[in-house]
Amino acid sequence: MTLLAVEELTVEIGGVPVVADVTFGLERGERVGLIGESGSGKSMTALSLIGLLPEEAEVRGRIDFDGRDIVRLGEGQRCRLRGDRVGMIFQEPMTALNPTMRVGRQVAEVLQLHQGASRSRAEARTLELLERVEFHDPERIVRAYPHELSGGQRQRILVATAIACSPALVLADEPTTALDVTVQAQVLRLLDRLVAEEDAALLLISHDLAVVSGMCDRLLVMYRGRIVEQGATATVLERPQHPYTQGLLATASALDGAVRGSVLPTVPDFLGAA
């Protein structure tokens, strides 16, 4: 059953389209990867889904989430949706977390706001959530400020916040880019397990083909604000049809085998200057 249906989504900022005629869908429990180079419109697409675009942004099209068009909801309705039915994991936790609040308070606020939990119930539930994201000393962590935690620990706080209300959809925007390889693997394994436990749909935004190939059922390839190719993960990676996808995969392969001083291939502009 379709959970999310995006139809001809266009986002313009200052009259310049940053997302253009984007159409795709997610089924309940499905995992979809959104890939492409930096600046291709991936994050702007994700922010459109939860109504967190800049004030000057103009949005056209339809974003049907569980029977409601997010584009036409009021800000209050979108606020109730964010963090409740849709969980978001941002790329950089130090900008997503409030540096002046203890992390336990930040997680508990989500439960109080969206589920009407009492303070004592929210605090108890916060400890449970921190255990779920593999903190072995949650009583210490709830009292910590973001700057007192490592990058991997902060990212796990964001994961705990995203799943706090058992959302139907989790949006993960480059959730491991700022982490070293070992911690990256730990966070991805954790995210994989929690999404499965919640039976949530996942939209995973990444430039890392290895990450999406291991976690996603389908791939969307984005270039200059447009979806240029989509299909089953294995099909897109093994038999890419669009020249941009082919170039993206060729570049990734070259990077894997690159030696110092070698010249890497470039991906030409396939959509012209428009």
Burial of 27-66, coded b for 16+ CB within 10 Å and e otherwise, reads eebbbbbbbbeeebbbbbbbbbbbbebeeebebebebbbb
Residue type present at position 98 = N
pLDDT at 273: 43
Q: pTM of the predicted model, to two decimals?
A: 0.91
The residue extents of the domains of the chain are 2-92+165-246
Vertex 52: Cα angle to 64 and 244 (nearest 5): 75
pLDDT (tens, 9 = 90+) of the chain, 274 residues, equals 799 999 999 999 999 999 999 999 999 999 999 999 888 999 999 999 999 998 899 999 999 999 999 999 998 999 889 889 999 999 888 899 999 999 999 999 999 999 999 999 999 999 999 999 999 999 999 999 999 999 999 999 999 999 999 999 999 999 988 788 888 889 999 999 999 999 999 999 998 888 899 899 999 999 999 999 999 999 999 999 999 999 888 887 765 665 555 565 566 676 554 3
Rg (CA), the chain: 19
3-state secondary structure of 5: strand
CA distance 180 to 202: 23
CATH superfamily membership of 2-92+165-246 = P-loop containing nucleotide triphosphate hydrolases (3.40.50.300)
pLDDT at 260: 55
Kindly give the pairing relationship between strand 2-13 and strand 57-65. Answer: antiparallel
Vertex 15: Cα angle to 92 and 17 (nearest 5): 55
The secondary structure of residue 146, as a DSSP letter, is: G
pLDDT at 263: 60
pLDDT at 267: 67
CA distance 173 to 207: 10
pLDDT at 247: 87
CA distance 70 to 51: 7
Beta-bridged to residue 62, according to DSSP, are 7
